[in-house]
Structure 1
C-alpha cells in the first residue's frame, strides 16, 4: 500500500494494485459521516471498435456500454437496488463516452455494501429473454431524451460536427443499434472490458484504509478470473471539416434555439490537454459571459436570454467549442459569436483577467476536495488517463498568458457548423 500526500492541498490517499490487477484507491476523510465507493471500467460510448493484444478486432453496436450498465443490476439473489437499500445505501451508475461507473453512498456501515458493489460488478447474470426485454426499456429512455430540446440540440450539434467519430451517436446509441445488440455481444464486451486488471475502485470515507483494504482483498481472493486481454480503442480517421455545415429541425418549443460549434483537433498529452481546455474555458468566460461589458447589451437587445452559454471539450482525438442560446435574432447572434472567436485568436485576454479567472476556478477546485463524488470521478479519470490527481490540479494554478495565446491558436474559424432548433410549423 502506497501513501501519496500533497502539502499544497493538505490531502492524501493510499493506493494499491491487487494481485488480480484491480487498482484500489482509498481516500480517508475523518471528519465526515458519509462514505462513497466508486468502481469503474474504461469502457464508454466511444468503444464501438476495439483491438486486443493479438490483433483481434471487436465491433460493437453503438450504445453497448450503456446497455451493459443496465444489465449489471440483475443478480440471481435479487434486484441490486433493493439489496443496497436494505443495507442503508444508495446505489447508481452512469455511462459516459469514456467510462462506465458504478457507485454507492451511505452514512451507515460500509463493509456489506462494499462487498455487494464488488460482487455485482464482477458477475454478469443475463439471459436472452432479459436482453430482449431491456431493449424496449432503453429505446423508451432514448425517445424520452429526444423530447428534451436542450439534449436534442446538443446531440444534433455532435452529429453535425463528426462524420465518423462515435461522438456523433447518443451515449445510449439509437433504436436501430440497440435492437441489434445480442446476448453474445454483451458477454464478449463484458469479458474483455470488466476484467479487474482494467478497473479501478475508489473509496472516500472516514473508515481506516487498512481495514477497508483488508476487506477488499478478502473479497477478491475468494474469486478467480481468466487471464485478461489488453484492448485498445480503435478510431476511424475523422475529416477536419464538419459533417454538416448547416442543420435545421423542429420541436415543440416556444422560441428558436441555436448553436454554433467549431471543430478542433484533439491533444494527445493529457497535461497539455488539461491546460489548453482550461485556457479556452477562461477565454470563453471572459468574452461570452457577464464579465464582458457587452453581455448586458445583448440581453437588452433580445439577441440572447437566460438560456445562453458556451463550452469547450478536448479529448485525445477530438475537440470542439460551442456557443448556444435561445434567440429570434439568428444573424445577430452568429455575428457576435464570429466576432468573439476572431478576437479570441487575435487578442486573447488581459493578464489581470486571467489571474482573476484562475483564482475563481482554483477556489472551485479546492472546494471540490470536500465533495466525495468529485474526488472519486476525478481519481477514476486520472487513472484511466495515466495522470496524477494533484498534478492535474496544479495545471490550472500554473497557466500563463502565453499558454492562453497558444491554446487560442487551436481554433479554426472556418470549420464550424450551425444548428437551428425551430418551433414546429413556424
Structure 2
C-alpha cells in the first residue's frame, strides 16, 4: 500500500492497485463521525460508441449508462437499499457525462457496507421483463426533466454549443432511445466498462487504512474476473463553431432564465495541465462575474440579475465549456452587457489586487471544503480520472499568475464560440 502525504493540507492518501486492476484510495479523517465510500466507473452518457477488442464497433442507445445505473440496484433475492438501511447506511448513485458512481455514507458497520457496495455493483442481474418495466420508470423521469426549466435551459445550451460531440445528448436519453435498450445491451456495456481495471474505489472518513484495505483485498480476491477489456471510445470530431448561437424555449417560469456558454477546444489536455486550465478559468470567471466584481454589483443593483446568477467551468480531456447566467427580467440586455463587460475587461486588463483577492478566496473556499467528506468523495475520483489530484489544487492555485489569468481570459472568451439559451414563460394563448 502506497502512502502520499500532503503536508500543506494535513492530508494523507493511501493507495493500492489490486491484481484485478481496481484502484483503491483511502483518505482517513481523524475525528470525523461519518464515512463515505464511492465506487466509480469511468463510463458515462457520452460512451455510447466504442470498439471491442476484436475490432467490432458497437453503437448502443442513448441513455444506456443511466439505465444501467438504475438496473444495478435490482437483484434476484436482495433489496440493496433495504440492506444498506439495515446497516445504518444511506446509499445513492448517479450518472454524469463521463462517469457512473455508486456510494454510501454511514457512521457504523463500515465493513458490511463496503462489502455490500462491492458485491452489488459487481453482480449484475438483468431480465427482459425487468428491463421493460424500467423503461416506464425512466420514461417518467425523462418527462419530469423535460418540464424542469433549470434543466431545460442548461441542456438546450449544451445542444446549442455542441454540433456533434455527445455531450449534447440527454444523460437519461429520450423515451424513444431507451425503448431500444435490451438485456443484452446492458450486459455488453457492463462487461466492457464495469471491469475493476476501469473503476476506482474511494473511502474517506474515520477508519484505519490497513483494516479497510484488507476488507477490500479479501472481497476482491474471492471473485474471478476476466482479463481487462481494451476500451476504445469513439467520438466524432467536433467542429470549432457552435451549433446555434441562440435557442429559446417556453415553460412556466416567474422570470426568464438565461444561460450564456463559451465552448472551447480542449486539445486533449490531461493531468497537471488540465488542472491548471480549470483553476485558471475559474479564477477568470470569479474576477469577471463574482459577487465582489463591478459587473455583478452593477447588474444586481439595477435588477438585471437575481441571487440565482452563477457561473461555472467544466474542463475535461474531451470537452470544455463555461456557463454564466441565471434568472433575469431582460435576457437580451444581460447578453449585451456581458459581452460588453468581457470586452472591457480584456481591454483594461486585470488589476493585481482583484487577482490576489480572487486567488485567496478560491484557496480559502477549497480549504474549508476539505472539512466535508461529501466534497472529497464527490471530487476525488473526477480528478483521478483526468490524471490529476484533488489535493494538488492549492499548490496549483498558488502557482497561477495574473498573466496566466489574462492570457486565459483572452483565449476562452471567443464570441464566435458563444451560445445563449433562454427559457421564457409561455404566453397565455400558448
The two structures share one fold, judged by TM-score above 0.5:
yes
Q: Give the aligned partner of residue 201 of structure 1.
A: 201
Deviation at 1:311, TM superposition (A): 2.5
Q: Equivalents in 2 of 1:389, 1:328: separation in Å? A: 38
Deviation at 1:392, TM superposition (A): 4.0
| 1:341-397 Cα distance to aligned partner (Å, 9 max, x none) | 223433442222111111111112112222112222332123212223433442112
| Cα 1:255/1:365, change in 2 over 3 Å | closer
Alignment of 1:262-273 (within 5 A): 262-270=262-270, 271-273=272-274
Would you say how many aligned residue pairs link Structure 1 and Structure 2? 426
Q: Give the aligned partner of residue 251 of structure 1.
A: 251
Q: Give the aligned partner of residue 358 of structure 1.
A: 359
Q: Equivalents in 2 of 1:346, 1:135: separation in Å? A: 53
Q: Give the aligned partner of residue 147 of structure 2.
A: 147
| Cα 1:54/1:353, change in 2 over 3 Å | farther
Confirm or deny: 8 A CA contact 1:258 1:420 kept in the other structure.
yes
Structure 1, 188-197 or 288-297: larger mean CA deviation: 288-297
Deviation at 1:291, TM superposition (A): 1.6
Deviation at 1:322, TM superposition (A): 2.6
| Cα 1:81/1:373, change in 2 over 3 Å | same
Q: Give the aligned partner of residue 302 of structure 1.
A: 303
Confirm or deny: 8 A CA contact 1:283 1:349 kept in the other structure.
no
Alignment of 1:212-251 (within 5 A): 212-251=212-251
In structure 2, the residue corresponding to 1:361 is in which secondary structure? helix
Confirm or deny: 8 A CA contact 1:302 1:329 kept in the other structure.
no
Q: Equivalents in 2 of 1:95, 1:133: separation in Å? A: 20
Deviation at 1:71, TM superposition (A): 0.4
| Unaligned residue ranges in structure 2 (runs of 5+) | none
Q: Give the aligned partner of residue 108 of structure 1.
A: 108
Confirm or deny: 8 A CA contact 2:154 2:421 kept in the other structure.
no
Q: Give the aligned partner of residue 424 of structure 2.
A: 422
Q: Give the aligned partner of residue 91 of structure 1.
A: 91
| Cα 1:328/1:367, change in 2 over 3 Å | closer
In structure 2, the residue corresponding to 1:26 is in which secondary structure? strand
Q: Equivalents in 2 of 1:153, 1:381: separation in Å? A: 25
In structure 2, the residue corresponding to 1:74 is in which secondary structure? coil
Aligned CA-pair RMSD? 1.7
Deviation at 1:54, TM superposition (A): 4.4
Confirm or deny: 8 A CA contact 2:15 2:23 kept in the other structure.
yes
1:178 aligns with 2:178: yes
Structure 1, 139-148 or 372-381: larger mean CA deviation: 372-381
Confirm or deny: 8 A CA contact 1:84 1:113 kept in the other structure.
yes
In structure 1, the residue corresponding to 2:38 is in which secondary structure? strand
| Cα 1:290/1:18, change in 2 over 3 Å | closer
Confirm or deny: 8 A CA contact 1:267 1:314 kept in the other structure.
no
Q: Equivalents in 2 of 1:111, 1:272: separation in Å? A: 38
1:333 aligns with 2:359: no
Deviation at 1:47, TM superposition (A): 0.6
Alignment of 1:18-417 (within 5 A): 18-270=18-270, 271-410=272-411, 411-417=413-419
Confirm or deny: 8 A CA contact 1:50 1:232 kept in the other structure.
yes
Q: Equivalents in 2 of 1:77, 1:182: separation in Å? A: 22
Q: Equivalents in 1 of 2:328, 2:387: separation in Å? A: 42
Deviation at 1:281, TM superposition (A): 2.0
Q: Equivalents in 2 of 1:19, 1:131: separation in Å? A: 33
| Cα 1:177/1:305, change in 2 over 3 Å | same
Deviation at 1:294, TM superposition (A): 4.4
In structure 1, the residue corresponding to 2:145 is in which secondary structure? helix
Confirm or deny: 8 A CA contact 1:276 1:403 kept in the other structure.
no
Deviation at 1:267, TM superposition (A): 4.3
Confirm or deny: 8 A CA contact 1:267 1:315 kept in the other structure.
no
Confirm or deny: 8 A CA contact 2:284 2:408 kept in the other structure.
no
Confirm or deny: 8 A CA contact 2:36 2:103 kept in the other structure.
yes
Structure 1, 285-294 or 148-157: larger mean CA deviation: 285-294
Q: Equivalents in 1 of 2:316, 2:346: separation in Å? A: 21
| 1:194-231 Cα distance to aligned partner (Å, 9 max, x none) | 11111111111322111111111111111111122020
Q: Equivalents in 2 of 1:134, 1:327: separation in Å? A: 38
In structure 2, the residue corresponding to 1:268 is in which secondary structure? coil
| 1:105-131 Cα distance to aligned partner (Å, 9 max, x none) | 111121111111110000101100000
